Chain A
Amino acid sequence: MQEKEALMRCNPTRRTFLKGTAATAALAAVGTCSVTAWQAERAEAAGAKTQGASLCNGCSSKCGLVATTLDGRLWTVEGMEAHPYSKGTLCGRGHGTAQWAYSDGRLTQPMKRAEDGSFAPISWDDAFAEIGAKVQEILAEAGPEALAIVQDPRPSGKYYSKRFMNALGSANVYTHAAACNLSKESGIQEATGASNYSVDFPNTKMVVFIGRSYGDGIRPSSVKSLAGAADKGARVVIVDPRLNNTGIFATDWVPIKPGTDIALLLGIANVLVANDLYDHEFVEQFTVGFPEFAAQVAEYTPAWAEGVCDVPADTIVELAEALAAAAPACAIEPSWRAAFGCAYQNSFETARVVCAVNALLGCWGQKGGALITSSPKVGDVDPAKFPEVPKPTAKRVGDAEFPLALSGTGTNLAVLNGCNDGTVQGVFFYNSNAVQGYAQPAKWREALAKAKLVVTIDVQMSETALASDYVLPECTVLERMELPEFIGGKKHYVALRTPVIDRVHPETKSCDEIFVGLAEACGVGQYFPFTVEELADAQLATVGTSLDAVREAGIVELADPGFQFGTPAFKTPTEKFQFTSAKVAEAGLNPVIGYVPRLVEPAAGEFSLIGGKQGIHSHTMTLNLEALNAISREYQLERLWMAASDAAELGIADGDTVELSSSEASGRVAVKVTERLKPGVLFLPTHYGSTSPYLTRAQGFGLNMMDFIPLHLEPAVGSTMSQEVAVTVRKVED
């Protein structure tokens, strides 16, 4: 509407658009500057070239980048040398998402859904006012606990979304984790007191990956670290039903039955204990519950494990012995989403077993082992300038049912359940395509249709935006300033996302501007009387630097945290590594680290279905970008992988179209026949199958794995169990 008004104001009587009187002499001058002449002239001229540092948004890693602009236009982007995640390299997603600012597929103004389901532009003022009125209505009728926000954390988003929701009196703040790394981080937390750890690649002799593939994303630095370890002769073992793209660095591929990594790991633990290959000193001094664990693990012999996971017992014994020989300069890598981030009923427990094996190897904190490092801590800022928000009185929806979910993330699927039972009536999504990726899309749509208000903040019309009442357009990554990003590890850093180009579409807003607008409209604007720059500067002052300093350099190394090799302080309730957990017992599960089977066992004629990332995409977010979508299409990356022996048995040839079916859905897709997959398993990339007609390049290309997955949550954790499904496949003859 604003656009129309602006146009109409130009000169309605003459129906012209360009302002100004037009220089008569210039119009009449013989000859003009043609495009060819202009391009030739520009090739010789020195354009106004500038460089600016910022952070990528191609995935959640937020690698440092350096953008070069020419006459205000983005010209090149490259990885920042000093940033610990990029180390001078930007991945394909980083280059692809840099184009977003100029993309024809982005949202440029707020949109409101009409009764017929279509969307029409609405002004910011009207959108804020209507959303504010609806929020007040929900607050009056159901209280603040009926409001929730789901966000995939970004530097500003994680701060503003929580502050906004808490200011309204709601504790219902969730991340994407239930469809990412919730089980893994919650499991590691229960065992070690930290939610994650890293492998000391420069010194490692042996590392075992459980499903995770650095070669398929995410951080350039991870690939460089692994490549360095491989060059130095480290043994790199990939445990995965699929020979993934980390294979180039691997010494071993251990194809395994999906969802049974826990059995392999327990088999290794059994060998370490039974053959007295474990680190007695570590176990005795730094752990609790080892006797109970040892008694339980005695059952999990390599022979037993082979029966469950289909990895030969001899292989399991050999891996255990090799790890023991390399210890403590070895580790089971912590993984991320992959095989036990949120995939199975046993994902939380698998993470605990990973930690247990590392404990038996005595590798926690050791050179070449598993390192728990610290993160910078932002100090208190002036409460007069940045008023404290009262802590919500009601508990977060879902926490009682899923007590093992990491407190920092919660399970966003509690929102889905809450919409269904009426507990949650107003939902905000920031930088999150929950509908398409967090659980079965049909279930999300059904649930959100019951809410009184759904608002999505995004740069494009995602499937979640389509299920919303209002869609608020954020400006793209290289156009916006965000709060500082603090980076932990052996060294501490702080980096900053700053605008390196002007906003292409003036009607888009940055995260902070949108949340401040929402807060004011919802009657809690008093908690946001500051700019993002003021808050950033205040936060940075607490760690000994300033906004100017970080803006100038892009990244600043903070005070040395004093990392030293050696057994870390385990911040568990017992202050030790926990083979047993009282919290797990309280949640009604076996407190001792042990075995949990996967939920769904494929019957004869059925397949396991596994998913995974590809290096050029971040879930569903990047699919519609011209360059990245073109790569997917050029290389037919949407194809379903099938083992050659299975394909031969079913009469399926490479490139054939098949119909994939589960209890929930059916869909057609081309097949990639390969020797790089364990028979009985199908692999489907997790990015594809967009249904949003707004995402014209992505819509209808490939299948969305979540369509095939029943809605069921991992007990006590609340993860989406993204691979608990059995499927059938048949060749499409027509």
Chain B
Amino acid sequence: MQKRANYVRALGALFALWGADYPAAYEEARAGAIEGLSVPAVPSAPVRRRLENEVLTLGSLAATLPVESLYKPWASASGGDGGEPAQFGAARNLLLGDSAQHMRVLYDGLELDVPPAYEAMPDHVALLTEVACLYAEAGNGEAVRDLVADHLDWLDAYEEALAARLAALEARPLPGAQHHDELAAALAHGCELAGALTRAIHDLSQSLR
């Protein structure tokens, strides 16, 4: 379980912003790869830069973030204490939804602090996979199973969102050919990463049955 959870964590970490240090993150992921699962190729520096600046950064050109709240209804029906439901509870593509609130509860219980850069997205995949790994390190397979079931069940939708971004880009090419090509490669690489992570999570789940 631990090795598989480590690989999931290492893949999740590739969705964080590493800047020039990104090769080491890939190296770690590749070193921990599970046999039979795909291993993401290391992208070129320009492609990785586009991925970080223009895909994995909120408000950027092709922003498509691996944040759970964006792919699920924002709030459950009840407002607590028998109160009225959230006015836009069914909406998606909003940050700090129920998944983020639940993760905060878990972080509090585990005495973990979310860094300021993730204040608006405590349910970012880099954090979710790290918690899964921490549970695995503690030998708590049930908690890993619950976390995967509750919080890592949306990566198909994320991969589809990246693919849709890529299709939209190809339909409306950017004026600069180099920029366009690098961003297209970055989105394709994002799809590759999401696919690899989905498969690694599936593999981890299977191992826990």
Contact between A15 and B25, CB atoms less than 8 A apart: yes
CB distance from A5 to the nearest CB of B (A): 9
| Residues of chain B from 83 to 119 with CB closer than 8 A to chain A in the complex | 83-84, 86-88, 91-99, 101-102, 105-107, 109-119
Contact between A73 and B75, CB atoms less than 8 A apart: yes
Residues from chain B with a CB closer than 8 A to the CB of A603 are none
Q: Map CB proximity to A onto B131-161 as digits: 1 under 8 Å, 0 otherwise.
A: 1001101111011001101110000000000
The interface size bin for chain B is 35 or more
A18 CB–B CB distance under 8 Å: yes
CA distance A504 to B69 in the complex (A): 14
A45 CB–B CB distance under 8 Å: yes
B54 CB–A CB distance under 8 Å: yes
| Residues of chain B from 177 to 191 with CB closer than 8 A to chain A in the complex | 178-179
Q: Which residue in chain A gives the minimum CB-CB distance to B49? A: A120
| Residues of chain A from 1 to 24 with CB closer than 8 A to chain B in the complex | 2-4, 6-10, 12, 15-24
Q: Map CB proximity to B onto A61-79 as digits: 1 under 8 Å, 0 otherwise.
A: 0000000001101111100
Cβ contact of A28, chosen from B96, B97, B139, B151, cutoff 8 A: B139
CA distance A119 to B174 in the complex (A): 13
Contact between B112 and A22, CB atoms less than 8 A apart: yes
Provided the pairs A8-B21, A693-B172 are in contact, do residues A20 and B116 lie with their beta carbons within 8 angstroms?
Answer: no
Cβ contact of A27, chosen from B19, B76, B137, B165, cutoff 8 A: B137
Contact between A35 and B134, CB atoms less than 8 A apart: no
CB distance from B188 to the nearest CB of A (A): 17
CB distance from A16 to the nearest CB of B (A): 6
Residues from chain A with a CB closer than 8 A to the CB of B120 are 108, 504-505
CA distance A655 to B23 in the complex (A): 52
CB distance from A626 to the nearest CB of B (A): 5
Residues from chain A with a CB closer than 8 A to the CB of B24 are 15
CA distance A666 to B127 in the complex (A): 48
CB distance from B162 to the nearest CB of A (A): 12
Cβ contact of B115, chosen from A10, A12, A27, A32, cutoff 8 A: A10
Contact between A103 and B94, CB atoms less than 8 A apart: yes
Provided the pairs A8-B19, A27-B134, A38-B102 are in contact, do residues A76 and B58 lie with their beta carbons within 8 angstroms?
Answer: no
Contact between A27 and B110, CB atoms less than 8 A apart: yes
Q: Which residue in chain A gives the minimum CB-CB distance to B76? A: A39
CB distance from A435 to the nearest CB of B (A): 16
Contact between A35 and B102, CB atoms less than 8 A apart: yes
CB distance from B78 to the nearest CB of A (A): 4
Q: Map CB proximity to A onto B1-36 as digits: 1 under 8 Å, 0 otherwise.
A: 000000000100100111101001100100000000
Provided the pairs A33-B109, A39-B98, A694-B61 are in contact, do residues A28 and B130 lie with their beta carbons within 8 angstroms?
Answer: no
Q: Map CB proximity to A onto B54-89 as digits: 1 under 8 Å, 0 otherwise.
A: 100111111101000010001110111101101110
CA distance A432 to B8 in the complex (A): 44
Residues from chain B with a CB closer than 8 A to the CB of A28 are 138-140
Contact between B127 and A17, CB atoms less than 8 A apart: yes
How many residue pairs between the two chains, A and B, have CB atoms under 8 Å in the bound complex?
A: 236
Q: Which residue in chain A gives the minimum CB-CB distance to B168? A: A696
B201 CB–A CB distance under 8 Å: no
CA distance A536 to B112 in the complex (A): 40
B53 CB–A CB distance under 8 Å: yes
Residues from chain B with a CB closer than 8 A to the CB of A121 are 53, 57, 60
Q: Which residue in chain B gives the minimum CB-CB distance to A75? A: B86
Contact between B81 and A46, CB atoms less than 8 A apart: yes
Contact between A35 and B61, CB atoms less than 8 A apart: no
Q: Map CB proximity to B onto A502-533 as digits: 1 under 8 Å, 0 otherwise.
A: 00111000000000000000000000000000
Cβ contact of B80, chosen from A7, A16, A47, A103, cutoff 8 A: A47
B39 CB–A CB distance under 8 Å: no
Contact between B118 and A17, CB atoms less than 8 A apart: yes
Contact between B143 and A32, CB atoms less than 8 A apart: yes
Residues from chain B with a CB closer than 8 A to the CB of A384 are none
A104 CB–B CB distance under 8 Å: yes
Contact between B112 and A76, CB atoms less than 8 A apart: no
Q: Which residue in chain A gives the minimum CB-CB distance to B95? A: A102
CB distance from B66 to the nearest CB of A (A): 12
Contact between B78 and A42, CB atoms less than 8 A apart: yes
Q: Map CB proximity to B onto A32-51 as digits: 1 under 8 Å, 0 otherwise.
A: 11111011001111110100
Provided the pairs A38-B105, A693-B172 are in contact, do residues A73 and B94 lie with their beta carbons within 8 angstroms?
Answer: no
Contact between A75 and B87, CB atoms less than 8 A apart: yes
Contact between B80 and A626, CB atoms less than 8 A apart: no
CA distance A401 to B95 in the complex (A): 48
Cβ contact of A34, chosen from B53, B60, B146, B165, cutoff 8 A: B146
Residues from chain A with a CB closer than 8 A to the CB of B59 are 105-109, 111, 460-461, 473, 694
CA distance A333 to B92 in the complex (A): 41
By CB atoms of chain A within 10 A, which of B59, B93, B94 has the most? B59
Contact between B91 and A46, CB atoms less than 8 A apart: no
A634 CB–B CB distance under 8 Å: no
Residues from chain B with a CB closer than 8 A to the CB of A70 are 79-80, 83, 86
The interface size bin for chain A is 35 or more
A30 CB–B CB distance under 8 Å: yes
Contact between A27 and B74, CB atoms less than 8 A apart: no
Provided the pairs A76-B84, A104-B94 are in contact, do residues A43 and B78 lie with their beta carbons within 8 angstroms?
Answer: yes
CA distance A513 to B119 in the complex (A): 21
Contact between A18 and B115, CB atoms less than 8 A apart: yes
Residues from chain A with a CB closer than 8 A to the CB of B62 are 693
Provided the pairs A22-B134, A505-B120, A693-B172 are in contact, do residues A32 and B146 lie with their beta carbons within 8 angstroms?
Answer: yes
Q: Map CB proximity to B onto A105-139 as digits: 1 under 8 Å, 0 otherwise.
A: 11111010000111111000000000000000000
Contact between B86 and A22, CB atoms less than 8 A apart: no
Provided the pairs A39-B98, A73-B75, A506-B116 are in contact, do residues A47 and B81 lie with their beta carbons within 8 angstroms?
Answer: yes
CA distance A26 to B116 in the complex (A): 23
CA distance A361 to B105 in the complex (A): 68
CA distance A31 to B141 in the complex (A): 9
CB distance from B183 to the nearest CB of A (A): 8
CA distance A22 to B143 in the complex (A): 14
Residues from chain A with a CB closer than 8 A to the CB of B21 are 8, 12
Contact between B175 and A117, CB atoms less than 8 A apart: yes
Residues from chain B with a CB closer than 8 A to the CB of A118 are 53-54, 61, 176, 179
Contact between A16 and B137, CB atoms less than 8 A apart: no
Residues from chain A with a CB closer than 8 A to the CB of B58 are 104, 106-109, 505
Contact between A18 and B114, CB atoms less than 8 A apart: yes
Cβ contact of A26, chosen from B75, B87, B109, cutoff 8 A: B109
| Residues of chain A from 522 to 562 with CB closer than 8 A to chain B in the complex | none
Contact between B143 and A31, CB atoms less than 8 A apart: yes
Contact between B60 and A694, CB atoms less than 8 A apart: yes
A408 CB–B CB distance under 8 Å: no
CB distance from B118 to the nearest CB of A (A): 7
Provided the pairs A27-B137, A28-B140 are in contact, do residues A99 and B80 lie with their beta carbons within 8 angstroms?
Answer: no
Cβ contact of A504, chosen from B95, B142, B149, cutoff 8 A: B95
Contact between A6 and B109, CB atoms less than 8 A apart: no
Contact between B119 and A506, CB atoms less than 8 A apart: yes
Cβ contact of B79, chosen from A4, A16, A47, cutoff 8 A: A47
CA distance A47 to B86 in the complex (A): 13
Q: Map CB proximity to B onto A90-105 as digits: 1 under 8 Å, 0 otherwise.
A: 0000010011001111
Contact between B93 and A19, CB atoms less than 8 A apart: no
| Residues of chain A from 217 to 235 with CB closer than 8 A to chain B in the complex | none
A627 CB–B CB distance under 8 Å: yes
Q: Which residue in chain B gives the minimum CB-CB distance to A110? A: B59
11 contacts between A and B (CB under 8 A): A9-B115, A15-B10, A33-B102, A42-B76, A45-B81, A47-B80, A70-B86, A73-B86, A74-B86, A109-B58, A693-B172
12 extra A-B contacts, CB within 8 A, seeds A7-B117, A18-B131? A7-B18, A10-B115, A26-B110, A27-B110, A28-B140, A46-B80, A76-B86, A76-B87, A95-B88, A99-B91, A118-B61, A694-B59
Closest 8 CB pairs of A and B: A27-B138, A47-B80, A43-B78, A46-B81, A19-B113, A102-B94, A107-B59, A28-B138
Interface residues, chain A, with chain B CB atoms under 8 Å away = 2-4, 6-10, 12, 15-24, 26-36, 38-39, 42-47, 49, 70-71, 73-77, 95, 98-99, 102-109, 111, 116-121, 460-461, 473, 504-506, 626-627, 693-694, 696, 699-700
